[in-house]
Chain A
Amino acid sequence: GQQLNQSPQSMFIQEGEDVSMNCTSSSIFNTWLWYKQEPGEGPVLLIALYKAGELTSNGRLTAQFGITRKDSFLNISASIPSDVGIYFCAGHNAGGTSYGKLTFGQGTILTVHP
């Protein structure tokens, strides 16, 4: 199946620092999604991107849909301790018999030191 490479695998940062992570794919996606998983919980959708070049913000989070449609980026500004968790990118190709199947990246584990 399709592969998504997400990096970095983990990050240890100080509170107040900015964070960047990205995902690259061997094939094109129509939609890019970013999820966050907090300890003991299932992933929750943070941001959805639908158009190549699109830049979307959700509070301190900003995500971009790459021009080539093969990559996406997530930035978190001024990190706080509650940003701790695992961040996943996911790609989706709508239509046909996809039935909403998502391809997930390996995840970025974020640790924020107060």
Chain B
Amino acid sequence: DVKVTQSSRYLVKRTGEKVFLECVQDMDHENMFWYRQDPGLGLRLIYFSYDVKMKEKGDIPEGYSVSREKKERFSLILESASTNQTSMYLCASRWTGTDTQYFGPGTRLTVL
């Protein structure tokens, strides 16, 4: 079974803090993605990575950065958290050439 894990299910941070969200997949997938999920807006792509050390901006990259030093791990970084970044964050991965993205359980981040 494909497994995508995220480091925390719930996280509470203060405005201005640096926040790291970690995602690990165990299926040797080349591509990994970070989304945020907000009610009424669906899933919106923040960043994705098509290979180690490679990254591309998604639709809403402002205020975020990413890091992919190893194939199995993709990190989302909030350099200076703000209240409008309170959201559910979902990580996903897939094999190149397939359509199916496998999702982690999500991290619900609250920024106070």
Question: Which A residues form the contact surface with B (CB < 8 A)?
Answer: 1, 4, 6, 9, 31, 33, 40-45, 48, 88, 92, 94, 99-102, 104-107
Question: Which B residues form the contact surface with A (CB < 8 A)?
Answer: 4, 9, 31, 33, 35, 40-45, 48, 50, 56, 58-59, 90, 92, 94, 96, 98-101, 103-106
Give Cα distance in the complex from A44 to B3, angstroms.
Answer: 12
- Which residue of chain B is the closest to A48 with respect to CB atoms? B99
Q: Which residues of B contact A101 (CB under 8 A)?
A: 33, 45, 48, 58
When A and B form their complex, what is the total count of cross-chain residue pairs whose Cβ atoms lie within 8 Å?
A: 61
**B103, A99: Cβ atoms closer than 8 Å:** no
Question: Which of B40, B41, B99, B105 is the one whose CB lies under 8 Å from A41?
Answer: B105
Binding site secondary structure of chain A: loop
- Which residue of chain A is the closest to B94 with respect to CB atoms? A100
**A92, B42: Cβ atoms closer than 8 Å:** no
Question: Which of A42, A45, A99, A106 is the one whose CB lies under 8 Å from B4?
Answer: A42
**B103, A104: Cβ atoms closer than 8 Å:** no
Question: Which of A1, A6, A43, A100 is the one whose CB lies under 8 Å from B98?
Answer: A100
**A44, B45: Cβ atoms closer than 8 Å:** no
Q: Assuming A42-B90, A42-B92, A105-B42, is B105 touching A99 (CB within 8 A)? A: no
